[in-house]
Amino acid sequence: MDIQEVIREQVTTNPVVLYMKGTPQFPQCGFSSAAVQILKGCGVSAVAAVNVLENDAIRQGIKEFSNWPTIPQLYIKGEFVGGSDIMREMFESGELQQLLVDAGAAKPAA
């Protein structure tokens, strides 16, 4: 299976996938840390996090897959959402929370 197929499988078999530097417990860059905090702020309990520092093929392949040059990258239900800046903007507008609720990855706000 080539790297594009691996990535396609990851983003389509998991409701929420975050390609990041490091892990949610130990992010290795500020942008990845911000992305994790935003998802926590949305109430996401389960995210498939892919540490791109562990696999150069995925690190380069995800940039080609999304046609987006930077990491982190968030996917919800197979759709590319964006990086940490876009996540922050969507979080502030409430759009990200709604996407995550619709995906079944977060509970609606009470």
Question: pLDDT of 2-29, one tens digit each?
Answer: 999 999 999 999 999 999 999 999 999 9
> Is position 42 annotated in a ligand binding site?
no
Mean pLDDT along residues 47-61 = 97
Q: What is the chain's Cα-based Rg?
A: 13
Of the candidates 80, 46, 89, the one whose C-alpha atom is nearest the C-alpha of residue 62 is 80
Cα separation, 25 vs 70, in Å, equals 21
Q: Reply yes or no on whether the pLDDT at 109 is more than 90.
A: no
pLDDT tier at 110, thresholds 50, 70, 90: low
pLDDT score at 88: 97
Domains of the chain: 3-102 (3.40.30.10)
The structure's pTM equals 0.95
Q: Distance (Å, rounded) from C-alpha 57 to C-alpha 18?
A: 16
Average pLDDT, the chain: 95
